[in-house]
Structure 1
Amino acid sequence: MNGPVVVEVDGSPSSRSAVEAAAWEADRHGVELRLAHALASPAGDVFSEAAVWDPDGGRLRDRVKGLLAEAERRARRIAPHLAVTSDVLIGEPVTVLGSEAEDASLAVLGGPLPRGTGMGRLIAPGRCPVLVTRGRPDRTGTVVLAGEAASGSWRAAEFAFAEASARGVDLVVPHSRAVSATRLLDGPGGAVPALRRKYPEVTVRPQRGGTRRALLRAAADAQLVVVGTYGRQGLPPGSAGRTLLRRAHCSVAVVPAGRA
């Protein structure tokens, strides 16, 4: 990771959790944390200068500056020496976060995400992974690689292996009845066999069951679940992935496919 970790700040409890998670991620990867606050605009334009939306420095500016200052304090409680920058931009939160994430290593959102959040606009091919924070932070649980990512998305699978390696935990890979554990781990042409050779320190634990219910069971003991997008257009994760984003008890990373 070289680019910053970007997080949208709105002062809500889920946003505060997202700031803490983003600070932890930025600190362990040695990159900058970028705090972004979105102000809705009917025109949907995006500006990076606070003076555009509040030239007289009134109460709105004070409130927003207070939100960003509190977020920075929260981040520094996690990582005291972290480099932190902040921006106020005009636009919807997902649009703003997408703009700020153009050069980012990771974008962080507070969950659970309601329907209609525009998640698809954040996960275009080639963009950075999006971490949706859920539940309480757990640094001891496993990393789970959702089935669709294990079979079809090299980028998501590598993200999961790298995270399991960096966190020093096992990688759980749920799989359907149609795929044996032997084929999953050693079959030719798959992402998992190749990445096992690249990350020999990671213990991979196949787990029978590729249904949404099985994935939620696997997520119950996890600190992170990784899902991938599919298709050349970077479509959102399948039904199992969407279920995890709404109902998992741990954070979920959505990793876009590479550019076609």
Structure 2
Amino acid sequence: MNGPVVVGVDGSASALAAVEIAAREAKLRGVGLQVVHAFIWPSLHVSLGPSPVGPPDGGLRNAAEKLLSEAATRARETEPGVHVTEHLVTGEPLTILEARSREASLVVVGSRGMGGFIGLLVGSTAVHLAAHGRCPVLVVRGDAGGTGPVVVAVDGSARGDAAVEFAFAEASARGVDLVAVHAWNTWTERGDDDPGHPQNLVDGIDRMRSAEERLLAESLAGRQDRYPDVTVHHRLVENRIRQALIEATEQAQLIVVGARGRGGFAGLLLGSVSQALLHHGHCPVAVVRGDNS
């Protein structure tokens, strides 16, 4: 999709960090940037203008316009060549960002918020958009200025395929390596003739490891032809996928995960993995849907 990048702002430091990342993403894609503030107060029927006894530039609407202008200025300073537009939209943040995601190539939000996102965990916002939005969602947390590789969680599912494609495109645009992480559960496979023989246990685990290596390779196949500039590192992890991915974020500049899926993360909804990353990751997290429904 060649739609704009959309960033939700609420006046917080976290949102300003998201604005900088969003401006860079817009430049990488060669698209415009929409800076959006959800102005919920009109729907609550409260006074929006300045107080009769206060300064003329006071009031909720002036405050909203000011924070929106400051965010847009930050975006233009970060990437002067990107076309930036300001949007003060009446409504609830989740509803507005979901609607904007229908025409966007990416929606960016901060990891913590205030103001327009008052009372909401941004993690909840991201999970909601990943489940119901129409484009990838990038949550800016941890070290947003990292210089490490892009990391992608690979589970072998059809939905996870979209996350792999997104990660390749990001690594190519950023000019960095891609680390593909696939988790699998160790289990024992015993022969009928001698179920307790140690060699049968080793052979079973070796066979499964080989199968998981093939799954990882097949999940990445074909994309190296389209992204010959991307150096890919395959990483197999046994169990504890959440912890493995959180640790991977310590050296990454971005981690990409599907909105939900199964396969290599046997028994785990990928949504729970993405939520763990949103709460504990050390770098920005991109949550990618695998369909357009």
TM-score of the pair, normalised by structure 2: 0.74
Measure the CA separation in 2 of the matches of 1:179 and 1:11.
48
Q: Does 1:30 align with 2:5?
A: no
Which letter maps to 2:139? V
Measure the CA separation in 2 of the matches of 1:125 and 1:100.
12
TM-aligned CA deviation for residue 199 of structure 1? 2.1
Which letter maps to 2:220? V
Task: Provide the residue aligned with 2:273 in structure 1.
Answer: 240
TM-aligned CA deviation for residue 147 of structure 1? 3.1
Larger Rg: 2
Measure the CA separation in 2 of the matches of 1:192 and 1:179.
17
Q: Give the counterpart of 2:223 among 191, 195, 201.
A: 195
Change over 3 Å in CA distance of 1:106–1:157 after alignment to 2: same
Q: How does 1:5-24 map to 2 (within 5 A)?
A: 5-24=5-24
Give the 3-state SS of the residue equivalent to 1:117 in structure 2: helix
TM-aligned CA deviation for residue 137 of structure 1? 2.6
Measure the CA separation in 2 of the matches of 1:9 and 1:126.
18
Task: Provide the residue aligned with 2:168 in structure 1.
Answer: 161
2:143–2:253 Cα contact (<8 Å) kept: no
Q: Does 1:217 align with 2:224?
A: no
Change over 3 Å in CA distance of 1:149–1:245 after alignment to 2: farther
Give the 3-state SS of the residue equivalent to 2:260 in structure 1: coil
Q: Give the counterpart of 1:183 among 207, 214, 229.
A: 214
Q: Does 1:249 align with 2:282?
A: yes
Change over 3 Å in CA distance of 1:179–1:42 after alignment to 2: farther
TM-aligned CA deviation for residue 215 of structure 1? 0.8
Q: Does 1:146 align with 2:174?
A: no
Q: CA-to-partner distance for each residue in 1:156-183, whole Å, 9 max, x for gaps?
A: 1100011111112111112224544741
Task: Provide the residue aligned with 1:137 in structure 2.
Answer: 144
2:154–2:164 Cα contact (<8 Å) kept: no
TM-score of the pair, normalised by structure 1: 0.83
2:39–2:64 Cα contact (<8 Å) kept: no
Measure the CA separation in 2 of the matches of 1:151 and 1:170.
23
Q: Which 5+ residue runs of structure 2 have no aligned equivalent?
A: 51-56, 114-120, 185-207, 262-268
Measure the CA separation in 2 of the matches of 1:94 and 1:85.
20
2:151–2:254 Cα contact (<8 Å) kept: yes
TM-aligned CA deviation for residue 74 of structure 1? 0.6
1:123–1:129 Cα contact (<8 Å) kept: yes
Give the 3-state SS of the residue equivalent to 1:206 in structure 2: strand
When the two structures are aligned, how many residues end up with a matched partner? 247
